[in-house]
Amino acid sequence: MIFLRYESFKGYLRNYPVTAAIASLCIVYYFITAVMGNPGMGSDAYRFGAFYTIADVDPWGLTEPWRYITSIFMHADFGHLFRNMMMLIIFAPPLEYVMKSKRYVWFYLFCGIGGNALSALISNINGDSHLSVGASGAIFGVFGAYFFLAMFRKRLLDAASIQTIYIILGISLITTFVMPAIDVWGHIGGFATGFMLYRFFDQLQLMKLQKKR
């Protein structure tokens, strides 16, 4: 089972530095915003770096493009932070190990950006404004990578890990559509971005193996 962690705290930090750094940034950022205001309120969320689009004015959020990144590290309340950090800390390490930290950090960021971009697209189509925060789009990108592995690279995973991937995906999809105030398209966009990026990474790995042969 690839999702069981046996490392000590120091071992975790040493083996998965990007995941540990992302979790630390999210936690620190949350407490800073919570002390300075209420990140669950629209005005404060915007002030602290939430992703924001305005229909017919800034439909893609490109006036302040840095919000595509800062929003990934923001959370609306402690429960929001806790849920996302639990998923990140438990499920991200095996992917960081496989991809290596330098690739994984870009993978994670692009998944978060992809989630925000799809939310902007759908809001643009609907003529709505959009505001969102949270790491869940990027985390769904991690799930997208695992879905690719479970579907097309089963030999790399044990049966228990494959079953866990499908169960977690099922639960995550249900909560995405059932829980209130969820950025559904952000989750879908992150998942699709993660699936496609990992497919690209997988093709690069196959090409390297073929050259060695």
Active site residues: 136, 187
Three-state DSSP class for residue 15: helix
- Inter-helix orientation angle 136-152/159-178, to 10°: 140
Q: DSSP readout, 186-206?
A: HHHHHHHHHHHHHHHHHHHHH
Here the tokens at position 32 are: 């800073």
DSSP for 109-149, written as a single string:
HHHHHHHHHHHHHHHHHHT--EEE--SHHHHHHHHHHHHHH
Token pair for 156: 């790399």
Q: Which amino acid is at 26?
A: C
CB-based contact 77:22 (threshold 8 Å): no
Angle 141-99-160 from CA coordinates, rounded to 5°: 70
Distance from C-alpha of 105 to C-alpha of 89, rounded to nearest angstrom: 14
